[in-house]
Every structure is written in C-alpha cells, then in structure tokens.
Amino acid sequence: MDTNPLFLQNEDDIDFMPIIPLHDTDGENADDTVIPEELPILPLRNTVLFPGVVIPITVGRDKSIKAVNESYKTDKLVGVLAQKDSSVEDPGIKDLVSVGTIAKVIKLIKMPDGGTTVIIQGKKRFQLESIVAEEPFFKARIKPLEEEQIQNDQHFDATVSSIKDLAAQIIQLSPNIPAEASIILRNIENPSFLIHFVSSNLNSDIFEKQQLLEMNDIKARAEMLLHLLQKELQFAELKNKVTNKTKTELDKQQRDYFLQQQLKSIKEELGGDTNDREIQEMKKKAETKKWPLAAKELFQKEIEKLERMHSSTPDYSIVYNHVDLMLDLPWEEYTEDRYDLRKAKKVLDEDHYGMDKIKERILEYLAVLKLKGDMKSPILCFVGPPGIGKTSLGRSISNAIGRKYVRLSLGGLHDESEIRGHRKTYIGAMPGRIVQSIRKIKSSNPVMILDEIDKVGRDQRGDPSSALLEVLDPEQNHTFYDNYLELEYDLSKVLFIATANDIASIQPALRDRLEIIELSGYAVEEKEEIAIRHLIPKQKELHGLKDMPFKINKPVLQGIIENYTRESGVRELDRQLASIMRSLAKDVAMKGKIKPTLTNKDVERILGKPRYSNELYKTANMAGVAVGLAWTYVGGDILFIETSLSDGKGDLQLTGNLGQVMKESASTALTYLMSNARKCGIDPEIFKKKNIHIHVPEGAVPKDGPSAGITMMTALASALTGRKVKPYLAMTGESTLRGQVLPVGGIKEKVLAAKRAGLKEIIMCWQNEKDVEEIDANFIKGMKFHYVKTMNQVLDLALV
C-alpha cells in the first residue's frame, strides 16, 4: 500500500494538494455513521491516517484491492492500520499496529496501468480486538475509541493557537509547501481536527505519528504535537538559512561566470583573448631562438601547461614569468669582438693612465682570441687600494674589445640565492643576479664586473662566496645552474673581472680560481697626469666652467696633491679639485670674470691651510726614533718608532695599539741586541738597569705585521747606544733572531709613500730589489736604495 503525505513533506514526495472536507466537523461527526463490529483491514505502508483527514492512496497489493472493493460495495467503511516496518511487502498480523482509524472510501478510481487509486477520509480511531479472517483479505473485530470533548480550557486553547502559529511559520519557511495551506489552516475552527490535520501532514517519522494517534488524552496529544512542531520549525529555519547561503554563493558564481563570458565576447570582438594572443606571440618568438635541446623541451612543456590554465589561477603568473625569462635570455647570442689590438690599446690608454700590467694582459687575451677564434674567458681579479680605477677599468676593457658591460656589486651580499636564484614556487621568487644581468644586457659574452668580491658576507642564510665557486670556475661555468631558471646556462664566454681591496679576505677556494693582478697606488707624477687628462676636464664640465679660459699649472697641482691629500688613489684629489671649481664658479657668477691662472695663494684661500706637511719627517731626529714604512689598504704610509729608556729592572713596554706580530717583532729585536750587545757597541749591563718603552704613533690606529722589524731594532739600538738615526732615512723589512733581514710586501706603495714624505734613502732586504725595479724610474728620481742581508749592515747604514 503506497500513500503520499502532503503537508510538511520533502518536495520529492509531494504529488497532491492537501484535501480536507468542506466542513471540518464532518470528519469526526460519526454519530450518524453505523460502525459494524467487524471491518476489512487496509494496511498502509508509509503513513498514518488521522480522523477527519482526506488522503489519496494508491492500492497495489491483491489483498488490499479486494478489501477496498468489498467495502466499496457495502458500507464503504474500512479499518486503516499502519505497518510497523514499511519495507515488508506482504505484511502479516504481527506486522501491523493495534490502533488505527476507521476510514470511509469516498471515491474509487481505476488507473490505466491496472492499479487502483482510492480517496479515503478518516472517521474515528479504533482498537484492534482480534483477526477474524486473513483470506481473501484481513478482517478484524474492532472497538471504536471515543474522543474527549474539552470545553473552556484556556491552557488547551493556547496550545492549539500555538500549533496553528508554528504551522503557519513552517509553511512560510518551506517553499515547497503551497501557499493555500496557510489559508486552510486559518479556516479550521475545530481544535481536534486541527490537531489531526497538522499531525497527518507533519514531517515526522511513522513511529511519532502513531504515538500521536494512540494517545487518548487530546491535551497530551496537543502537547506532543507542539513539541514536534518546534523541532520542525528549527529544522525549517536552518534549512532555509543553508538554502539562502548556497543560493547566494551560486548567484555570485553565476554572476562571475556571466561576466567572464561577456568579457570573453568583448575580447573576441577586439581581436581575440589577450592571454591567447600573448601565448601565440611567445610561440612565435621561440621559433627564432637558438635553444639548447633541454631549454626547448622545457619551454614546450611550460607553454602547454600555460594553455591549459586559466589566467586567474595563482600558478598562471608563476609559469608565465618563467616562460618569459626563458624567452628573454640571449641563448647562444654573442656580440662580435673587435680584434684590432692597436685600437684596443689606444682606448685603454685614453681612459686610464698607467696600469701597464693589466693593459698587457687584456691585449694578450685579445691576441689569443684573434688567432684561435675561441677560448674560455679568464677570470681576472684586480687587487689594489680604493680610488685607483679598478671598477672603471672594467668599462674601458669592454669598450676596447667591443663587448657589453655589466657591473654586479657584491659588497654586503649575504644570501646565496642572490647568485643562484630562488625556487620559482616561492612568493616573490626571482632568478639570481648573474642571470638577471645576462637577461638585461641581451648578450651571453659581456664583460661582467664583480665589484668588491672581498666584501661578500656570510651568515646562517648561506655563503655567497661558495656559490661563486661555480660561476668563476672555467671548468664548471659552462653548465651554471640557476634555481629559478631550472636549466643550465653557459657562462664560459663571459669575461669576469673581480675587484678587491684586500685579497686576504677572499675565501681560499675562491681565490684559487682567480688570476690575481696587483694594482699599486699612484705616484705624485701619475696623479698629476691623471688630474690634467681626466679629473680637471671632468670637474670643469660638471661645474659649468668648460669654456672658461683658466689653467692649473703642474707646481700648483703638485702642491694640492702633497699638502691636501694622503692617498694611493685619486678620489680625495677629485674632491679637492671639485671644491676649487665650485669657488671659481661662484667668482664667475658674482664677478663675471675669472683669473687665467690658479696660484698657490688661491688654493690656500679656497682649501684652507695645508692639512699635511713633510717637514715633520725632514727634521733631525733625536736618538731612539726611527722611520718605518707601512702598507695599508689605502696605500703606503710612514710610521715613527719611538724608543725611550728609564731606570728600572729591564722591563719592556709596548704601546700604540700594536698587533701580536708587531709585539713579537719588538721582542725579537730586543733579544737579538741583548745577545749581540758588544758587537753593536752596547753595554750589556744596561739591559738590567733600564726599562725600555717602545711607542708607535698614532695610538688610535691599529697596526700589525712583520715589516717594522728592522725599524724597531734600529730604534732600540739608537736609544741604547745614544747614536741618532740618519735623517731622511726610512726602512722596511722583517728581522730574525739570527740577525737576518727578510723581504716584505707592498714595496711600491711604501716607496711612493716615502717619496711623498720627502725621504731620500730607504733600507730594505736585498730580495725586494726586483720590486723596486718594477717602479717607473721617473717616480723615484733622487731616491737612494740600500739593499741589505743582515742587521749589522742596517745598523752601520742607519746610525750616525
């Protein structure tokens, strides 16, 4: 037996409109209906019939059809009982409940498919007494149950009113329930029928409905119905909330889809989708590329991935940027080198004065390229003090050989991803600086300056200098791997030129890969030429004095260099010349004229009194003071070594911010003099009676190294013997306990510093003679060099 619950059911279950009698009292006014003691029984599979309610049912089982036909022929009454389990196809007596509803068959309709539809109306509840027959249909003895009549009970009236209100709210919240249902509810006056009508159409299970039917107390039935309605209302409200939320989300999706379709149509009208056009342009551009096989395969794979993706997806921009980088890189695209060696030499000479060693090395490289046609580029490293033109020399080299120029500043770099790139899946990922530079200049064989390679940082984020090992190794850099590019790139044709101030700061493994070319500071004569050829014309142009007829003579220029600068390079000189040009520009602006020749008085008026003086070194020294030569990262410098004796027990005191090596040099010098006192003309007893104090000005500047060894020994011998050190004399060299003099480095810088200071003689180790010979003879004219092997020779030359 199949039925269709009508009111408060899911949309899929609604097949009929609710049906009620025209007068709600008709259903329960059974006083004029004669109810027999025995009735045919009609089992209902999935609903409970309540008194007064009219429902249509589809009868399909043979027993049920026979029972309906039998009752329709007689008094049209039938006993309706619900099945305990609706899945049972052929129910027995045990499968039926004991309380049901006496129903009247209102209409019997034969269906075309052979089935029968019956419209029945509940009349009165009954109790099943016993089964009198099972064939051809169930027939049972029954006992009708009377309904309690309630008069003037306010609590019951309030409960019924609440039932009506809750039912009306549920109807309003449920879009699948017809609006007419609320009108029907308002027109029901009989409380008992209202309870039965609402109960019949309640969206509850069969068990709860059967409980309602079996309750004899109508008040309790109303209370239980009210409780079930409250649950149903909460469920309806939640369902409505979820439905509205889903509808809102769907509406937004539909709106977005609609707008996307409109946008697509507009783009097609304007000549196609922008993204599609870009992808097609990329494919067209790729056809002209000289791809390596691996790059070609990866590009094809990435383009296919891009075509499958929508432009609004997050990964689209990642893949697009990667493909764009591959297209921008100059795969196997090289500029043509100029092999005219004479012209290249001319360009180098015009841009930089001196630096013959570097110019020679570049011309050798060009000569091999010209003869062989192809070779791995050398990895050069220019080491020297600041301001001597190491970085600018790189640009001159690129101009000389006709290559593109790019500079990479490595100072303070602390993340190896800056060299090798980031994985492209990271937010903000970029290729490394090497690949970015190659992409920018569109050439695979540029001159690339790795500026300040000695100042690369190192911390927990990585060691960039280790990442540079691959870049700067000619045996490896033809397969340089960038993490972002995810491909190997050939850097073997790039001419790498590194610059550094202090080679000791470079990691040993990296230093081993570099071809070191030492650059020393400039002599006064070199600075004069650089100023005349480059600095003065540049500053005149920068200050608007290009067309002004005035000149700075060499003696005046020499005065500026000696009195206002103390450096190996020319940066400070450039700043002093800029100060002079500003003052001259002010004179032109205020007076409209300028002096044709700059004098020393004009320089002193503009720059002030001389900052440095050589007179200090020319004065006769007292006993115990010797002049040493030192090397610093800004070039050569002069050091005074002062020694003083005082009464005491022979203690040695060292001051002047000295490093460990320098302290050990002082101890070595004292030990040598103590062991060779009589040979040096020193009373041995003096070491027991006098305290010795060695001081090296300037006290705030840290000093270290072995090159002051012979200077300290000379200062000690001078103080202990009372003999003064020869004036205009400087010295440099390391001493040993045996009295040997060993060679030291930085000879050119030290000699030029002595020349700047006005010193005339220098004592050094005989093995340093080759270093002096490399210095231009014009720069050291008038200076005398003494080459020694032992300390005895030093003391003979130094002490008066």
Contacts 24+ apart (CB under 8 A), 435-441: 435/325, 435/329, 435/482, 435/484, 435/485, 435/489, 437/406, 437/408, 438/329, 438/330, 438/406, 438/489, 438/494, 439/325, 439/328, 439/329, 439/330, 440/406, 441/404, 441/405, 441/406
Tokens 């006098």 belong to residue: 690
Helices (H), 122-190: 154-173, 180-187
Between CA 189 and CA 191 the distance in angstroms is 6
Residue 63 designated active-site: no
Q: H helices of 428-535, where?
A: 433-441, 464-471, 508-513, 524-530
Angle between helices 191-200 and 206-214 (to 10 degrees): 160
Return the closest-CA partner of residue 358 out of 381, 386, 385.
381
Q: Which two tokens stand for residue 437?
A: 């530079």
* CA 710/CA 239 separation, integer angstroms: 100
Tokens of 686: 């003096």
Q: Which two tokens stand for residue 621?
A: 């020294």
Dist CA 758 CA 449 (whole Å) = 37
Interatomic CA distance for residues 207 and 184, integer angstroms: 26
Alpha helices of 565-658 — where are they, by DSSP H? Answer: 571-591, 600-607, 615-618
Of 398, 400, 395, the closest CA to residue 347 belongs to 400
Q: Which residues face 181 on adjacent strands?
A: none
Helices 356-372 and 341-351 cross at an angle (nearest 10°) of: 160
Distance (Å, whole) CA 664 – CA 734? 11
Question: Which distant-in-sequence residues (6+ apart) come within 8 Å of 687 by Cβ?
Answer: 650, 674, 677
Spatial distance between the Cα atoms of 512 and 385, rounded to a whole number of angstroms: 21
Cα torsion 94, 100, 104, 110 to 10°: value is -40
Phi, then psi, of 541 in degrees rounded to 5: -70, -40
> Is 750 annotated as catalytic?
yes
Catalytic residue among 527, 726, 750, 755: 750
Cα 355 to Cα 384: distance, rounded to the nearest angstrom? 11
Amino acid at 174: S
CA distance 724 to 623: 4
Strands 379-383 and 515-518: parallel
Closest by Cα among 396, 629, 423, 410 to 510? 410
Grouping H, G, I as helix, E, B as strand and the rest as coil, residue 408 is: strand
Cis peptide before 698 (omega within 30 of 0): yes
CA angle 427, 431, 437 (to 5 degrees): 140
**Given 707, 718, 726, 735, the catalytic residue:** 707
Bridge partners of residue 788, in order along the sequence: 765
* Alpha carbons 413 and 418: distance in angstroms, whole number: 8
Would you please indicate which residues are annotated as catalytic (active-site) residues?
707, 750
